[in-house]
Structure 1
Amino acid sequence: MSHTMKRAILVLLALSFITSVTLFTFTHRGASNVHAKGVSPNVVPLSDYFGSNNDQFYALEAPHGFLRWSYQYQQGGNTWSPALVVVGKIYFEVANSSSTAVEALSNLDGSVKWSFPFPTGTFGANGIAVANGFIYFAVNSNGSAGSIYALNAKTGSIAWIFTATTSDQSFGNPIVVNGVVYAAEHSSSGGIPQMYALDGSLGSVNWSHEIPVAAGTNLASANGVIYFGGSSALYAISAVDGSSMWSSPVDNGPVSTPTIGTGIIYYASAANFLTAVNATDGSLTWHQPVHKPFAVNVSPALYLGGVYIGSMDLNMYAFKASTGVPIWKHKVGLAITTTAEIKNGIIHVGLINGTLRTLNVSNGILRWFYHTNGTITTSSPPAEG
């Protein structure tokens, strides 16, 4: 499934169910810089960082749900990528109908460190990667060749650009492993898709290799293997040279990024199953049915031997990661539309009506919830400085 299609589905999802909000949402309490109760202004507590389509980006004190600060986008828009926090800065991709940018904010007070606007007429792929002092992301357009950009994380200046060879080629979100940038390319004219491995510092090509199908999900990698979902299978390819290792058939394909555990790969399928396969050969380990679809951006979350996922069937599920045996099922009353993020025994998850709900990881019971008048389309793990 293309990233453009995913954006369209998310927009339709919002219009179909609500008039104001979807996904991770929180109430903006009318202040641009409000510190959590009992927290020093110079100390960064564990926080949720997220953007909204009401032109705002928020920092929420995670343990109790207090608003720390908010930032208004200079050009307006919605945050399509998870926010990544590295060495006191928050990085994310923001887009509106006519422009896209990567932003860097202070995680202390939301002040702008730098902003990098995409070239006119281009758009991103809903994600960024941060490693070794660089920010990596895809820049595509409908009329010219796609590119992978690397920015200096401190200044936002361009470090290098790698561009596809023909105008019909575009890139998905890159990932970075041990200083190597991996990016899947596909052709709008039906050409054979490629996987590229680029030097993270220079942008030079380490290797490129044909892959069986265009990647329909983001990439995931561990132990020298890259995993991604296609239209009808989960694929594993070598991170050393791009050669195919195995494929595991999936009815209608995975709907989101695979999650890598200890010797097991987990994914949500379009056929409404949570599935676990052996990481070595793709053979089935277990699968569990869910009675309604998963939202297109929802991946399984792993935490202390459990796997957690929410569905459009109004339930949050917890299974034993090794066997798939159910641990608990908790009805939250509304469709769950983001990947669960889990920290310190607390699940953070977004609902279709615009509520961020936090649950006990042990039993799914509500801890607290929070609202806003906007939309966030991805979840980010709670982070400290």
Structure 2
Amino acid sequence: MDSRRRSYLAAAGSVVTGILAGCPGFLRPSDGPSGRNRTGTGVDGASLQLPETVENAYPQYQYDAANTGTVPDVSGPTGAVTSLFEFGRAGFTPSHRMGSPSLRDGRLYLTEGRIDGAGDGETFVYALDAVDGSRQWATMYRGTNAAGPTAVTDDLVLATVGEELVGLAATTGVEQWSFDRGVQSGITVDGDTVYVVGRADGSATLYSLSAADGSLDWQTPVDADTAPVTPAVADGTVYTGGNTLQAFDAATGETEWTADCIVTAPATVTGERVVVGSGTAVRVFDRADGTEQWSNGVETYGNQESPAVTNPPAVTDDTIYAVADRGLTALSLTGSQHRYTVEIGIDGTPVVADGFIYLFGRGQLTCRAAADGRTEWTYGTRQRTSPGGAAPVVGDNVAFFPAERLYAIAG
């Protein structure tokens, strides 16, 4: 990236006039499309025990390298809920968006894209206190308003800024390295290695990088005509694709197998299976050789002519949760048994924690019981858009939803 595009903001505790500001403390809940917020027991911040810290880690998109979207040993907000804080610019515009956050050591890391008053693009990478939303540091990049996901390691924050992957010091936000190969996918971190898919000279390519310094270990072509999906990694194999589902050796990039499957959502790996959204169906493949085990169509409530499953399903030990055109469908992992479909009125990427599903879409944040899809709580917002592919982060008694603003809900 041309260094003239970069401008760094002050580090920890800085306040920058005219850009986003955190909004710590209690906020009056924003009116949603129906003009109110709803929970089963009412929004009542005064009666809730708010977290003093958020100790669990949520290191990357869909929680882990396998994209399972299932958070172990964590109970998110249920029952009565309140706004812990909101972070973002007042007065939404279509060009304004937040990327999927990551969480570690009580800090939340995320990107925000916007257009400034002169019509120029800006992307900010932020570190926020996960309890009160106060900004710990901010780093700005000029020339793009794209806001991609982040991932966090022991000492680095990885972020996609436009089509560039950058590694920033987690404590200060100072850039340590950058990788500019037309990155178009999300970030997958497995141990000391980072996997992303980019597009150079019109061809999709899977890259394996050192997380420490961004150096390239290997690269290999990906069969994808459209935007490639975020890789999934498990037990030494990387899964990605587009026109087909492909499995690559994580150490060398050599192809292990290819399956005939149009991939419309990032793969999810669990046990001996690879779960893929493919148009209006969920398809499950054997990890060993790519043999298809079963497929099942999902019920939709919207435009059935477009690919329905475009966000990765969340997968537990025995159930797949897929969202397609405003419907939430639960399928058994082993035999494609249809457990339920409920209309939820939004599209979104599901995340499961302690028997509840968290997701968001235009104007709405929601929590549903994983057992039957019933509504636990719904929180209305003034947001007009929902960034494609963005996903919530669930912590101890708190959930974070990146939309036109970042919403932190506690309960």
Q: Taking structure 2 as the reference length, what is the TM-score of the superposition?
A: 0.71
For 1:351 and 1:41, the matched residues in 2 are separated by 25
2:246 counterpart residue number: 235
Alignment CA distance shift 1:240-1:75 (3 Å): farther
1:123 deviation in Å? 4.8
Alignment CA distance shift 1:110-1:233 (3 Å): same
For 2:126 and 2:211, the matched residues in 1 are separated by 20
Size of the alignment, in residue pairs?
327
1:291 deviation in Å? 4.5
Cα-to-partner distance string for 1:26-72 (whole Å, 9 max, x where unaligned)? 969xxxxx9663325735599x9xxxxxxxxxxxx722331112223
For 2:210 and 2:327, the matched residues in 1 are separated by 43
For 1:289 and 1:41, the matched residues in 2 are separated by 40
Please tell me whether the aligned partners of residues 211 and 244 of structure 1 are also in contact (alpha carbons under 8 angstroms). no
For the pair 1:128 / 2:136, whether they are aligned, the reply is no
Output aligned runs, 1:101-140, within 5 Å: 101-118=124-141, 120-124=142-146, 126-140=148-162
For the pair 1:86 / 2:104, whether they are aligned, the reply is yes
Please tell me whether the aligned partners of residues 245 and 263 of structure 2 are also in contact (alpha carbons under 8 angstroms). yes
1:183 to 183, 196, 204: 196
Please tell me whether the aligned partners of residues 277 and 309 of structure 2 are also in contact (alpha carbons under 8 angstroms). no
For the pair 1:62 / 2:77, whether they are aligned, the reply is yes
Please tell me whether the aligned partners of residues 342 and 381 of structure 1 are also in contact (alpha carbons under 8 angstroms). no
2:382 counterpart residue number: 373
Please tell me whether the aligned partners of residues 177 and 213 of structure 2 are also in contact (alpha carbons under 8 angstroms). yes
1:289 counterpart residue number: 297
1:127 deviation in Å? 1.6
Q: Which has the higher contact order (CA 8 A, sep 6+)?
A: 2
Alignment CA distance shift 1:259-1:71 (3 Å): same
What letter is aligned with 2:85?
W
Alignment CA distance shift 1:105-1:225 (3 Å): same
1:161 deviation in Å? 1.8
Larger displacement relative to structure 2 (239-248 or 196-205): 196-205
Please tell me whether the aligned partners of residues 101 and 151 of structure 2 are also in contact (alpha carbons under 8 angstroms). no
1:341 counterpart residue number: 351
Larger displacement relative to structure 2 (373-382 or 69-78): 69-78
1:362 to 355, 359, 371: 371
Identity of aligned residues (%): 21
Unaligned stretches of 5+ in structure 1?
A: 1-19, 29-33, 49-60, 141-145
Q: Taking structure 1 as the reference length, what is the TM-score of the superposition?
A: 0.75
Alignment CA distance shift 1:304-1:208 (3 Å): closer
Output aligned runs, 1:160-175, within 5 Å: 160-164=177-181, 169-175=182-188
Name the Cα RMSD after superposition: 3.2
Please tell me whether the aligned partners of residues 97 and 147 of structure 2 are also in contact (alpha carbons under 8 angstroms). no
Alignment CA distance shift 1:179-1:340 (3 Å): same
1:157 deviation in Å? 0.6
For 2:46 and 2:311, the matched residues in 1 are separated by 29
Alignment CA distance shift 1:80-1:237 (3 Å): farther
For 1:36 and 1:275, the matched residues in 2 are separated by 46
2:235 counterpart residue number: 223
For 1:262 and 1:123, the matched residues in 2 are separated by 38
What letter is aligned with 2:192?
G
Please tell me whether the aligned partners of residues 327 and 347 of structure 2 are also in contact (alpha carbons under 8 angstroms). no
Secondary structure in 2 matching 1:196: strand
Alignment CA distance shift 1:315-1:238 (3 Å): same
Secondary structure in 1 matching 2:233: strand
1:376 deviation in Å? 3.9
For the pair 1:210 / 2:232, whether they are aligned, the reply is no
2:311 counterpart residue number: 298
Alignment CA distance shift 1:21-1:183 (3 Å): farther
Cα-to-partner distance string for 1:102-138 (whole Å, 9 max, x where unaligned)? 11110110000111112x2135462222112111123
For 2:100 and 2:84, the matched residues in 1 are separated by 19
Unaligned stretches of 5+ in structure 2?
A: 1-30, 39-43, 59-75, 116-120, 399-411
Alignment CA distance shift 1:181-1:291 (3 Å): same
Output aligned runs, 1:143-158, within 5 Å: 146-158=163-175
2:176 counterpart residue number: 159
What letter is aligned with 1:241?
T
Alignment CA distance shift 1:204-1:343 (3 Å): same
Please tell me whether the aligned partners of residues 305 and 322 of structure 1 are also in contact (alpha carbons under 8 angstroms). yes
For 1:219 and 1:370, the matched residues in 2 are separated by 31
For 1:131 and 1:84, the matched residues in 2 are separated by 10
